Amino acid sequence: MRLAIIGFGAVGQGLARALVETGFVITAVADSRSAAINPDGLDIPEVLARKEKTGLCGDTGVGSADILSSGAFDILVEVSPTNADTGEPALSTIRSALAMGKHVVTSNKGPIACAYHELKALADQKGVMIGYEATVAGAVPIVSGLRQGLAGNTVQSLHGILNGTCNYILTRMRDEGLTYPQALQEARDLGYAEADPTSDVKGIDAAIKLVILANTVLGMDVTLNDVAITGIDSITLEALSLAEAEGATIRLIGEILPGKNQVRVSPRVISLDHPLVVDGTLNAISVCCDLAGQVTFIGKGAGPYPTASAILADLNFIRDAYDRGA
Ligand SMILES: NC(=O)c1ccc[n+]([C@@H]2O[C@H](COP(=O)([O-])OP(=O)(O)OC[C@H]3O[C@@H](n4cnc5c(N)ncnc54)[C@H](OP(=O)(O)O)[C@@H]3O)[C@@H](O)[C@H]2O)c1
């Protein structure tokens, strides 16, 4: 199947590399200032080399709109930056692709958090699919795990470590006695934290992921405004020491209680032997189900290849369904 990739940064380039020998053909790529289109398939090593050398993946004056109007793709892969307020401009791009009868796969949280129900209705109307596994917890297959692996269960609660940056900071504060500013600086130096870490450390990024899970697999209808959010920026070494004395630690936990229509993110004291106590940038999600009991997923929540893994899973799912004539 032919892919158009919108966004050619860490994830877009990681995906392009991971797609070699998968049978998918990349016919178009776009970054913020350029695009390349070849309906017969782009020379990806050449595109990657050009991006590295010039900062451009293709020609200036060409963009996402040209890729859409070319129609030279079966699946649009949207991996441009997240805008959690409006989902734009990715939301409009995704809407257009679905309206054209094209499948969509995205790692971009904005459009899914802002407009999943609308996009899913459009996809259903057009007989196409929308995959967004990569929007939550990177490589961890939580969307398909809940939707397919635990199908038939009622999820009573979901708790998760959904932000690797916060988990890294809290891990380093506990293990090395670093203060919050010291641990944040270290996370920045290692490239785990953005130059502006506000969305991560204030709990907003984790809240957006909870909104996606609540609305898309747990049958809820919530917005970011419905989430009670407290970040980790006030956590002190003294608080961690007090927790430690009780055989516990502090982690930023996202919580969904579907029966109470409740979604929240907050630092919580958690026993050291709890399965959600994972180290460093790992993500972990634990669900309590009526039939399966407690099931915990742990894995890499970010990075070009872990994210490409989730995108590739969605692409393969769509291709398999297409091959079966679904
Ligand atoms: N990185 C991760 O580990 C990870 C994990 C899960 C989900 N995500 C999500 O995946 C998406 C991509 O992340 P990333 O880390 O690859 O970001 P990134 O490295 O900042 O790359 C973003 C890419 O999108 C391009 N872009 C910006 N505005 C655009 C526009 N209007 N049209 C077309 N392309 C545009 C940028 O162009 P330039 O190259 O010209 O700047 C860049 O190539 C984000 O939504 C992110 O939240 C990332």
From 11, 76, 77, 91, the mutation candidate for ligand 1 (largest count of ligand atoms within 8 A of CB) is 11
Which structure tokens are listed for 85?
Answer: 């307020």
Atom 47 of ligand 1, residue of closest alpha carbon: 82
Nearest CA to ligand 1 atom 20: 9
User: Does pLDDT of 21 surpass 90?
Assistant: no
Q: Is pLDDT of 246 > 80?
A: yes
Say if residues 299 and 306 touch (Cβ distance below 8 Å): yes
**Centroid of ligand 1 to alpha carbon of 152 (angstroms):** 35
- Residue range 43-60: mean pLDDT, rounded: 98
Which atom from ligand 1 is nearest to the alpha carbon of 303?
3
- Upper half-sphere CA count for residue 239 (Cβ side, 13 Å): 15
Per-residue pLDDT reduced to its tens digit, 104-151: 999 999 999 999 999 999 999 999 999 999 999 999 999 999 999 999
* E strands present in 87-243: 103-106, 130-131, 155-161, 228-229
Contacts of 192 (CB under 8 A, 6+ apart): 164, 165, 168, 281
The protein residue with its alpha carbon nearest to ligand 1, atom 1, reads 303
Centroid of ligand 1 to alpha carbon of 6 (angstroms)? 9
CA–CA separation, 176 vs 238, rounded Å?
Answer: 13
Give distance in angstroms: CA of 61 to centre of ligand 1: 19
* Mean pLDDT, rounded, of the chain: 97
Give, using CA atoms, the residue closest to atom 32 of ligand 1: 32
- Domain formed by 2-138+305-323, architecture: 3-Layer(aba) Sandwich (3.40)
CA distance 265 to 252: 7
CA 305 / ligand 1 centre spacing (Å): 14
Q: Which of 79, 75, 131, 78 is nearest to 103 (CA)?
A: 75
Condensed to tens digits (0 to 9), the pLDDT of residues 164-217 reads 999 999 999 999 999 999 999 999 999 998 889 999 999 999 999 999 999 999
- Residue-wise pLDDT for 73-96, tens only, equals 999 999 999 999 999 999 999 999
Mutate to test the pocket of ligand 1, among 79, 112, 194, 209 (most ligand atoms within 8 A of CB): 79
pLDDT at 324: 86
CA-nearest residue, atom 26 of ligand 1: 32
Q: Report, as residue numbers or ranges, the catalytic residues.
A: 209
Length of the chain: 326
Which CATH number is 142-300 given? 3.30.360.10
Q: For the chain, what are the domain ranges? A: 2-138+305-323, 142-300
Gap between the Cα atoms of 225 and 304, Å rounded: 30
CA of 111 to the centre of ligand 1 (A): 14
Ligand 1-lining residues (CB < 6 angstroms): 6-12, 30-33, 64, 79-82, 89, 107-109, 134, 138, 302-303, 307
